Amino acid sequence: MLKTVRANQVRLGMYIHELKGAWMDHPFWKTKFILDDQTDLKKLKSSAIQEVVIDTSKGKDVLEENEVVEVVPPTPSELVAETPKVAKIESISAQQEYAQAARIIKQSRQAVLSMFKDVRLGKAVSAETMMPLVEEISASITRNEGALISLVRLKTQDDYTYMHCVAVSALMIALAKKLYLSEAETKQAGLAGLVHDVGKAAISTEILNKPGALTEDEFKMIKLHPEKGHALLLKAGITDPVALDVCLHHHEKMNGLGYPKQLTGEEISLFAKMGAVCDVYDAITSNRPYKAGWEPGMSLKRMAQWEGHFDDDVFKAFVKSVGIYPIGSVVLLKSGRLAVVIDQSPKTLLQPIVKVFFSTKSKSHIPVETLDLSKPNAMDEILGHESAATWGIKDVHELWHE
């Protein structure tokens, strides 16, 4: 049975079904759970949440008037220092996370597709309905930073617009964590990524999916999508300031040569600077109707050379979030072999886990070998990024994602 109670009536053992109020005031990522931690109870009672919906069929009800609550005295160590329990998500390898990441990506695609349809029809879109998706994406990134981000890069050309929003959401969350933003700000960053390109719902698919170069008039139409998206979000009832800001300003550049407002430097918010980096990275690493995507490592190398485009501090944090050698990057080893990065090493970003597959000396494929370059017995090191296409190699992604 569902029952709405005051926040000060909540006690341990209750099953939280829903937290009333604005989602930005919610102290937890999760929305439905058994409240079994004293720290979480304190966090809830000190938040701005006034009312909570509980499910008495799954947990405790409010106290009856004469009900006695057993009070367990604190231990001596607890009297000296109270150590809060924090729910920890265990880190796992990219290979272990791929199945879960694929499920989240499939679910996300449907959610974003529905959102675009609703926006096109002028229907209201609830930010709250998108938050469980943001939560799942965040949990995946916490388990393994690169798995979902690398997997969503393999989007089809037909799915690009929708899956690009999912990818940018994931990249924004990973970047927010590296910038040590608060939990609430990380939520906002994830939501902003999901809705940042909603203005493309107002652009014809013929232009969006055109295989050749755009005409001047077509490019002018494309450049209207931030303003169109901002207007659509307002019409749909999305009022979150970060989502609106990133939607409108993710194409601004530090040197003032972006659009639509030609903002410069500090005129651009931190979240819009984040959106600019995440948007470009996913765009250039994805296959598009008019060009094949660049390899992740080469993309970072080229982005670093674009003077005046990105905020330096934000870009450096972004590189840390995806890895100096992101999953899927092709690298040249000191031994003269080519390898593809399959995961990051927990020890250092400079020595990832790779699969060696090609000899540049014999110009031929060699037996595939997995190598953790951070281990002393690896006996090899990365010299730099390399393009697989230079050696006539295709479908490198089949090596890092089986």
Q: Which pLDDT score, from 0 to 100, does residue 88 have?
A: 58
Q: Give CA 292 to chain center in angstroms.
A: 23
Contacts of 23 (CB under 8 A, 6+ apart): 127, 128, 131, 187
CA dist., res. 205 & res. 227, Å (int): 18
Q: How many CA atoms are closer than 13 Å to the CA of 216, on its beta-carbon side?
A: 0
CA dist., res. 249 & res. 272, Å (int): 6
Residue ranges and CATH numbers for the domains of the chain are 2-65 (no CATH), 94-322 (1.10.3210.10), 330-400 (no CATH)
This prediction's pTM: 0.78
For 24, phi and psi rounded to 5 degrees?
-70, -20
Tens place of pLDDT per residue across the chain (402 aa): 888 998 889 999 999 988 887 655 667 756 688 998 887 888 788 787 888 999 999 999 988 655 544 444 445 444 444 434 445 577 899 999 999 999 999 999 999 999 888 888 878 777 778 888 999 999 999 999 999 999 998 887 778 888 999 999 999 999 999 999 998 999 999 999 999 999 999 998 889 888 888 899 999 999 999 999 999 999 888 889 999 999 999 999 999 999 999 999 999 999 999 999 999 999 999 987 777 889 899 999 999 999 999 999 999 999 999 999 999 999 999 999 999 999 998 888 899 999 999 999 999 999 999 999 999 999 999 999 998 888 988 878 788 876
Q: Which pLDDT score, from 0 to 100, does residue 402 have?
A: 62
